[in-house]
Amino acid sequence: MRSKAFTANQQPLIGHQTHLRKGSVIAAVFLERLMYFSNGGRPEAPQDSQYVGFRGGWHRRIWTRTLGRRGHLSRSLPLEISDVNYKSLSCDISLQCLWLSMPRILFFLVLARVLLAAPHDPVAYVNPLIGTQKSKIGYGGTMPFVAPPFAMTNWTPQTRQNKISITSYEYDDKSITGFIGTHQPAIWMGDYGYITLMPQVGELRTTPEARALAFSHSDETAKPDYYAVSLSTVDGKRIRAEMTATERCAFLRFHFPAGAGIDRVLIETSRPGIQGFAAADPKTHEITGYNPHRMDAHLGPHKLPNFKGYFVVQFRQAPQKTGTYGLDKPDASRGAFAEFHSSELVEVRVGTSFLSIDQARANLAYEIPDWNFDAIRTKLHSVWQEKLSRLEVEGATDRERTRLYTALYHALLYPRIFSEYGRYYSAFDDQIHTGESYTAFSIWETFRAETASSRSLRRSVSMA
């Protein structure tokens, strides 16, 4: 496939032709639209692009940039695009550069060797916070998920109660009310079968407003394989929270401050008006339960009485006390809690399932068999590294790599797996079946970018 030569000042619309440019802005064909729709508006608009209306949506016009003096845009360098290598998503560029002097040519050759020799970990370029803040070009409605590609359950800090049109995390919020295992696929859709955990000290506080703790982005680390943040208590002490995950489970660590009194982990099973369930067993260090909430239930005719999001929460340390709350109050939130010695490190494993509590426990035993947080994080990092490394780029700046690999990270979150080792719950008949199942498979605008990129990059990925 060969396209005609063009010059940079012609400003071609990327999206109708596939190319990468060595030594300039890296623009991968179908990934261009992917980058805009996936990343939204956070933290800032790309400097070398402009947005124009496109059939009711948006299309980005990429300005090609050479390594000219002072980083200025070069508008006189003709390019000729040759055959595309879909394996590495790169292509050979023939430059008509008679105007270049020999010293400049040598400089570019040396620079290219340096860039090509430098190893790049694509996971390090992903910024999950992109798209979580409203900006001049819009709101991405994304969340900083910690999860493998296509995971059944995604884990994110929760700064607000999510619902249809509201996601769990908004960058400009000042406090965190929990860490939620969510299945909300997009801002215009609701959640279902979710679970929220929150560390706290002092008296028991169950409502989101009462349990909220302030945080700063300077104390926050967000990566595809790891999230960490410091939460400020009322008396100025800090709780350090860390999180990593597998396809259906999560591993959390809470570092409680010394002298803060009672250390507690709260598990919110369901919100007011939802008939969730929770039970605590201090002998097994477990809290179990389910959440039957489906925020989109009013959009369909089926009641689905068998639907539930089940969970098993396990603590490595033996709790001093466990209990439940709200189970006898129809208009209150429901949940459970476990209390520990002051200034303790509390490690928590969470298994989720749509089949049963026993299956949630089995998922947890299979995916996180040991109390080794770093091992789970390392495995998750490797999974993302393998997936993202299928796209190799040359000549991009760190900022450009961040936009590109973050867009690819967002694209690889869906569709989500909905089966659990050979069985799955089906909302079509409210029954459990044998086989594999996926959900959150959007087809709105995806043919322009997502479908092509998925076909090019997807191979089976397993956390086993």
Query: What is the arithmetic mean of pLDDT over 442-456?
Result: 76
pTM of the shown model: 0.76
pLDDT above 80 (res 216): yes
The pLDDT of residue 43 is 40
Q: Which pLDDT score, from 0 to 100, does residue 97 have?
A: 38
CATH number of the structural domain 154-371: 2.70.98.10
**CA 461 to each of CA 246, 351, 458: distance values in angstroms, whole numbers, following the listed order:** 12, 20, 8
Bridge-based pairing state of the strands 334-340 and 345-353: unpaired
Q: What is the pLDDT of residue 243?
A: 98
pLDDT confidence of residue 263? 95
Domain spans of the chain, in order of start: 1-127+391-464, 154-371
The number of beta carbons lying within 10 Å of the beta carbon of residue 319 is: 22
Work out the pLDDT band at 198, boundaries 50, 70, 90.
very high
For the chain, the residue count is 464
DSSP symbol at 64:
P
- By the 8 A CB rule, do 2 and 83 touch? yes
Mean pLDDT in residue range 371-392: 96
Q: What is the pLDDT of residue 38?
A: 52
In this structure, are strands 178-182 and 195-201 parallel, antiparallel, or unpaired? antiparallel
Only one residue has tokens 């440019």, namely 21
Residue 456: closest CA among 407, 403, 391, 394? 391
Residue 30 has pLDDT above 70, yes or no: no
**What is the Cα–Cα distance from 425 to 244, expressed in whole angstroms?**
26
Distance (Å, whole) CA 190 – CA 383: 28
How many helices and strands (H and E) does the chain possess?
A: 8, 25
Q: How confident is the model at residue 48 (pLDDT cuts 50, 70, 90)?
A: very low
Q: What is the pLDDT of residues 108-151, one digit of tens each?
A: 554 554 444 445 899 999 999 999 998 888 888 999 999 999 99
Measured CA to CA, the distance from residue 137 to residue 144 in angstroms comes to 19
Coil, strand, or helix at residue 256? coil
170 class by beta-carbon count within 10 Å (0-12 exposed, 13-18 middle, 19+ buried): middle
Q: Which is higher by pLDDT, 326 or 72?
A: 326
- Give the tens place of pLDDT for each residue, 390-424: 998 999 999 999 999 999 999 999 999 999 999 99
- Rounded to whole angstroms, how far apart are CA atoms 129 and 62? 23
Predicted local confidence at residue 11, as pLDDT:
31
> Which pLDDT value is given to residue 39?
55
- What was the pLDDT predicted at 360? 98
